Structures are given as structure tokens and as C-alpha cells.
Amino acid sequence: MRVLVTGGAGFIGSHIVEALKAHGHEPVVYDVRPDPESDVRNPYAVRQALTGVDAVCHQAAMVGLGAGFADATEYVSRNDLGTAVLLTAMADAGVRRLVLAGSMVVYGEGRYACEAHGVVRPGPRAVADLDAGRFEPSCPQCGADLAPGLVAEDAPVDPRNVYATTKLAQEHLAAAWARATDGTAVSLRYHNVYGPGMPRDTPYAGVASFFRSALAREEAPRVFEDGRQRRDFVHVRDVAAANVAALEASAEVLPGGALMAYNTGSGDPHTVGEMAHALAEAYGGPEPVVTGEYRLGDVRHITADSARLRTELGWKAEVGFADGMREFAMAGMRGA
């Protein structure tokens, strides 16, 4: 299979390229880093890149929470306009298979249960609560403490920042393309991806990269809130394997005409504090410092159930938390 990988020179994209080669496919890298003309917003360049292509793995995007609403125009342009240009060119070229880099951020807060009211959906956290160090959402009906749980793909979506909104819009565009063309579209809703080649020291880098960079400077990682916010840290090689599984899935598993969404996580949630401690221990650096600071667009807990991906596409995460964090820390020591 000849597969166009947009963002193929990037963090996740480059691992997908290697995974495709390992499975006997022919990846075609399309990325602005080696070639500024290779922008998904460039209709001519996209049409040229699609020549002879059987499928597209769309990883190109502006990622991360960003530095504030000032980035909104750039996020929408790169993520949503870029996706629309790509899908239009795919429709014209007769390319009918798409795997999209989705994100768990489309859910907003995770799944919560109140002892008295069952499953509830707390609204955005109030600034006054965050300033006072009250980080846990409470029941919107009675104010009681909530128990966080796993989010399934059929949970309501509730994006809480600009980046999350653009990721949801990408899914809607892909769904419309699939209906119009009878194409096969998959959104892999990535959790917190980490691993070799992860960007560092930019406003859009992941928290694991920030922590590792601090340790490389012999500084203590600074953990926001109280460090107890729960995430699912999934290794980039496992994410690459999920993309290959989605591309290789049969028509019986992935029929055309609709978008299928799959949570893509390790299935082994950990707190941000636990991740910081694991990196510090592996790096031999200073212990993390819990700051109580916060970012208004962040959610408290978001961990999802990846059972559908395992059951339907035969994928499972292979890299465990301890081994993956140790490898990531060692890569930082080597400058990778």
C-alpha cells in the first residue's frame, strides 16, 4: 500500500513512516519541515502528492494547548483549513482511505460518577476554585466529590480550548468526506503521546517533554496543580502501530461512508506527578516540585477506554509505563 503521511517528518509521523516500512508498505512523506511547499493548505502540492497513493495518514497539525486564544486563527488555518484542502484533493483523486490523528481532548473533562446522581458532566472549572487549590470537579447537582472513570467513544464531546475545537472539526470534516465519497475514515483519538523524537521547549510540547528538558538542565520538573491529575501516557511506537492497524483493517471491520473513532491509549492511567517522578528517577535528577499553578484550558482527569481499538482492530499497547519512561529519559540524555 502506498500511503501519504502528512506531517511525516514530525514526532508521530516519522514513527508511522518507520512502522509502515516495517509492514511492507510504501510511505510518502509530506511535511513542511524539509519542504515548505508541502503544506496541507497548498491545493496544488497536495494534489501532486496524492498521485499513485492508496491511502492517507493525516498527522499534520498544529498541536498542544498553545499560549492562549491569540493562536486561534493559526490553529483553525493549519488544522481545519488544511484538512479541508486535503480531503477535497482526496475526493478529486479517488483516494478513499483516511486515518486521522484525532485527540482525546475532544471529550473535555473525563467521565465522572457521583454516588448520589450517577454519571454526571461537570462544567469548566472556575477560576476562583483553581486559585484556591480546589482542582477536583464537583457534582453539578449536589456539589459532592466525584469518582473519575474511563471515557468511551460514544461519550458526548465537549472541547474546552481552541486546539480541542479544531480537532473535533477535523473529525466532522472527515465524516462529511466519508459520506460524500463512500470513503473509509478513522480518527485515532490519541492520549498523551510520548517517546523518542518528541518536540522540546516549545509552547506546544507535551508535559513529558517539558519535564525531561528541565531535568536536562538539572532543574526540578515543575508539576502544575497538585500533580494528581490523571492521564494515559501512550508510547509513540504503540501509536504508530495503531495507525498501521487502521490502514490495514478490512472493509468488513471498517465499512465506507462513515467515520469510526477509536480511543488510542495504553489502558494504564497514571497521574502527572507519577510521570514526573518516573522521569526524575530514570534521569537521576532533582525531585519534581508541585507548584499549584494551573492552565485555565486544562481539564482535571481524562483517561479513555481503548477496548474498541483492541477488539476491532487487534491492536494493543506493547510499551509499559516504567519501561517507556526510562527509555524516554535515556533518549533525553543522548539528546534525542
CA distance 262 to 267: 13
CA distance 200 to 332: 10
Q: Quote the strand ranges of the chain, DSSP E.
A: 2-6, 26-30, 55-58, 97-103, 111-114, 118-120, 147-151, 184-190, 192-194, 222-223, 230-231, 233-235, 258-264, 270-271, 289-290, 303-304
CA distance 68 to 260: 31
Q: Which of 163, 194, 283, 294 is catalytic?
A: 163
Question: Catalytic: 163?
Answer: yes
CA distance 180 to 128: 46
For the beta sheet containing 147-151, the strands, ordered from the edge strand earlier in sequence to the opposite edge, are 118-120, 111-114, 147-151, 303-304
Nearest residue to 59 (alpha-carbon basis) of 243, 212, 202, 199: 243
Report residue 23 CA to chain centroid gap: 23
CA distance 305 to 263: 7
Radius of gyration of the chain (CA): 20
Distances (CA, A) of 237 to 39, 118, 268, 274: 25, 37, 16, 21
DSSP code at position 102: E
Contact indicator for 214, 280 with CB cutoff of 8 Å: no
Please tell me the number of Cα atoms within 13 Å of 288 on its side-chain side: 29
Question: Which residues have a catalytic role annotated?
Answer: 163
